[in-house]
Structure 1
Amino acid sequence: MIWKKEIIQEKNVLIITQLMILFLLLSFFVGSTPILFLFILGCFIFFMSYLYLNLVGNNLLLQNETTTVRLNLKDTDEWKFSLVNKGMPILKGNLRICFTNKVEPINHSFIDVRSIVEVNIPFKAWRDEQVDIIIPVKAMRRGVSRIHHIEVRIPHLFGTGLVILEHRKMLGSKKLVLPERKPVKTSKKEVNFLQGNQYTQTSIYFDPLQPIGTREYQSGDPFPYIHWKASARTQHLQTKVFSPIGARTWLLLLNVDGMKTDIETSISHCAYLIDYAVRENIPFALAINVTTFGQSLYYFLNEGEGRGQRQQAFDLLALLSLASFTIPYHLMIKDVMQRGIPYPYVIHIGSIEPSAYESLMGFGKKGSLVFSVKSIGNQGAMELWK
């Protein structure tokens, strides 16, 4: 059973019971038919009250689809589920819905207590009737919002009692509010000439399997690179031109620990850099010093590119919480280095303690360019780490 049922009897039930006993005694002593009729009527009301409170809500079903909706700040969506009543009619029901305040109702009044939004909606449901509950909401804060508590209150028609139904399970649908993107001024002056397999216009390396054209032969050009068909067509020696390739991957290191860290600002800068990397077709990896239960002790997203990679990264950022357990930042950096993957560009985001200086510079000793994101007002800037 998905509902926990509680029946609350009002104090006036005791008064009615005492009156019924009084009417019964009077009917015997006085021999009055009207008093006996009042006794029978009272018994009928008491029995119907007892029957209604015990049967109402027993066959109330809740239907909800398991969905994950991703929203940017200020985007709108809706909570939607259905109540199907297969039992006694519910005439004056009240629905209380509680969910985390990452989203807030648009058209319904609500109260916000300790980051929990509470909405009350009156409803009625006849037998075999389906009631669709729709609550339009707007994304207000980064994070995950789920409906974790539903309570149905059904008062008795004569005011002699109350039935409270509590939903025991969290609903499957959730809203994932993605982080805000605060601009970061990126640096294009420093170029790292590491070998890789991504197209890089300024690279000194090229892919001999990807010719993109020809040019006039120059003294010293390797013999295998001569394009014989083009040479025969132009009557001049032609040399193949290959696509320049190199390493462009970014390693984003996000520190969410430390008293001086403005977590929301750091997350917003990180989100902007992820968006920028996807627009510029730059592969990236992401490491966050928040503990996880898996093969890695911390959040780590392997190198990838494109929208799918961005969605995974944004999901990680949306799930971050101030209550998350963290590991020391310098230990995470050392573990990333021990993976042995060369990253041409390493970008640190957040505060950093002196204990992590040496660990961060370890990337520089291996040929990486290390940058740090400094926040100035609502904008950040990438600075070369020195």
Structure 2
Amino acid sequence: MNWIRYENGFKTIHNGMLLTATLFILCAIFAISTLAACFAAVFAMLAFQNVYFSKLGEGLKVNFKAEQQRILIGHHEELIMEFENGKIPIWNGTLIISMEDAVAPRHESAKNYSGIYDVYIPFAIGSNQKTEIRVPLEGKKRGKSQITRVFLEIPHLFGDGSVNMELKDPVVYQSLVYPKVTNLASELAPSPFKPGETQQRQSLFTDPFQPIGTRDYVPTDRFDQIHWTASARMQKLQTKEFLPVSAQNVLLMLNALEKDRMNEDFEKKIERIVAYADHCMKNDIPYAFAMNLRTFGGRPYLFLPSGSGKVQFQMLMEMLAKISDKYAKLPFNEMMQHMESTGQLPPTIVLVTHENDNIKRQVHRWTKRFSVIVDSSFEGIENEWKKQDVKRTGTNSTIPSA
């Protein structure tokens, strides 16, 4: 592996070797054997240190056991590094690992500087040996954490100098911290506007491949719906009954633009989207995802095509872990118009956004053809709604008072 070396204190060693060599020669000329032996010993120590530190670090390699780790906020993982040394042993070193603060090292020496954690670990390795270093990590916040620097500091055995080695090769390791997963209190009802595969008590549509019984014939029934075998048995015309079904595909749309004077608006919206995606995964509901962060390609915004199950949920979580609120954004109503122009809107649409006049107009048009849910619960609207005066109905439910 390639390391960048920074050498400090070698000039002092060279000057000391020159001085002790001169004094040794003078003592030898004047036959002062005791002083000559002392200066020879000092010269030997300085020469050994010079040769040792000039070759230190040759053949040192580091391997990361995993290229990527995936964890949730508050959960733990381990950064595992394996060092393999060459012929020159390393003593009394300090390994410094710098990483972004989406994860927090659970190490007493960890220090945080402007979004970067530095971890200081004592380091020593013998000749032609391997050693493994484990750093416990904890998911701190949603995002991506990469190792920005691997630095090895080795002080001189004698004197104040040191050899510092910084890993030049790029580090492929990264930690993805997924957003917090919360339960969705409400339910996503099937859309009454389009036929589908989801069973529903009352629907305009039925599945002709799922008969559930028969009933008496009425003049409005079609001829092909008559059950002739049952009619002969009952001695009167009987009509087939089929399972009432409706569509339940969902489009989740998130407005990345933050409302004025809203703290952590972006993160709260992401948590709300994850709650809907978790509900869809548990109920096997296909869903797509769109977010108004600018991207390159046919769609000028972030988009995840429709899918279902754990694979779709994993893809969404990875996408949300890699994005940042600092990315360029486009107006939310422009994304809504572009989605509508594609002609592929599903029957149920969930909008996680704060309200404004442009969005309200678009939602008003969509509600005529789709089931539209505008979710602003991240602003605390649900709590304010509960505080409103309510009046009792004839049942256990409540409705807002006028």
TM-score of the aligned structures, taking structure 1 as reference length: 0.87
Alignment of 1:342 with 2:341, yes or no, is: no
Would the alpha carbon gap of residues 175 and 239 (structure 1) be closer, same or farther in structure 2, given more than 3 Å must change? farther
Name stretches of at least 5 consecutive residues in structure 1 with no aligned partner.
none
Would the alpha carbon gap of residues 17 and 51 (structure 1) be closer, same or farther in structure 2, given more than 3 Å must change? closer
Would the alpha carbon gap of residues 376 and 132 (structure 1) be closer, same or farther in structure 2, given more than 3 Å must change? closer
Please state how far the C-alpha of 1:79 moved relative to its aligned partner.
Answer: 0.8
Give the letter for the 1:157 counterpart: L
Please state how far the C-alpha of 1:7 moved relative to its aligned partner.
Answer: 1.9
Alignment of 1:2 with 2:5, yes or no, is: no
* 1:215 corresponding residue in structure 2: 214
How far apart, CA to CA, are the structure 2 residues paired with 1:141 and 1:129? 37
Alignment of 1:198 with 2:197, yes or no, is: yes
How far apart, CA to CA, are the structure 2 residues paired with 1:115 and 1:134? 22
Please state how far the C-alpha of 1:99 moved relative to its aligned partner.
Answer: 1.1
Would the alpha carbon gap of residues 195 and 355 (structure 1) be closer, same or farther in structure 2, given more than 3 Å must change? closer
Question: Any conservation in 2 of the 1:104–1:117 contact (CA below 8 Å)?
Answer: yes
Would the alpha carbon gap of residues 218 and 124 (structure 1) be closer, same or farther in structure 2, given more than 3 Å must change? same
Question: Any conservation in 2 of the 1:301–1:313 contact (CA below 8 Å)?
Answer: yes
Matches within 5 A, 1:24-103: 24-27=24-27, 29-103=29-103
Alignment of 1:284 with 2:297, yes or no, is: no
Count residues in correspondence.
379
How far apart, CA to CA, are the structure 1 residues paired with 2:203 and 2:241? 14
Please state how far the C-alpha of 1:72 moved relative to its aligned partner.
Answer: 1.7
Would the alpha carbon gap of residues 145 and 156 (structure 1) be closer, same or farther in structure 2, given more than 3 Å must change? same
CA deviation digits over 1:148-186, x for unaligned, max 9? 211111223224632211122443332211112355543
Give the letter for the 2:247 counterpart: A
How far apart, CA to CA, are the structure 2 residues paired with 1:358 and 1:168? 55
CA deviation digits over 1:268-294, x for unaligned, max 9? 111111111222322221111112234
Would the alpha carbon gap of residues 85 and 191 (structure 1) be closer, same or farther in structure 2, given more than 3 Å must change? closer
Alignment of 1:358 with 2:357, yes or no, is: no
Matches within 5 A, 1:113-262: 113-159=113-159, 161-182=161-182, 185-186=185-186, 192-201=191-200, 202-208=202-208, 210-220=209-219, 221-226=221-226, 239-260=239-260, 262=265
Give the letter for the 1:330 counterpart: N
Deviates more, 1:40-49 or 1:82-91: 40-49
Q: Percent identity?
A: 26
How far apart, CA to CA, are the structure 2 residues paired with 1:379 and 1:170? 46
TM-score of the aligned structures, taking structure 2 as reference length: 0.83
Give the letter for the 2:36 counterpart: L
The CA RMSD over aligned residues, in Å, is 2.9
Would the alpha carbon gap of residues 169 and 18 (structure 1) be closer, same or farther in structure 2, given more than 3 Å must change? closer
Alignment of 1:375 with 2:377, yes or no, is: yes
How far apart, CA to CA, are the structure 1 residues paired with 2:30 and 2:379? 89
* 2:323 corresponding residue in structure 1: 320
Deviates more, 1:49-58 or 1:219-228: 219-228
* 2:395 corresponding residue in structure 1: none
How far apart, CA to CA, are the structure 2 residues paired with 1:134 and 1:74? 19
Question: Any conservation in 2 of the 1:81–1:133 contact (CA below 8 Å)?
Answer: yes
Question: Any conservation in 2 of the 1:285–1:304 contact (CA below 8 Å)?
Answer: yes
Please state how far the C-alpha of 1:263 moved relative to its aligned partner.
Answer: 0.8
Question: Any conservation in 2 of the 1:195–1:245 contact (CA below 8 Å)?
Answer: no
Query: What secondary structure sits across from 1:317 in the alignment?
Result: helix
* 1:329 corresponding residue in structure 2: 332
* 2:270 corresponding residue in structure 1: 267
Please state how far the C-alpha of 1:333 moved relative to its aligned partner.
Answer: 1.5
Query: What secondary structure sits across from 2:127 in the alignment?
Result: coil
Question: Any conservation in 2 of the 1:333–1:360 contact (CA below 8 Å)?
Answer: no
Would the alpha carbon gap of residues 132 and 241 (structure 1) be closer, same or farther in structure 2, given more than 3 Å must change? farther
Would the alpha carbon gap of residues 281 and 18 (structure 1) be closer, same or farther in structure 2, given more than 3 Å must change? same
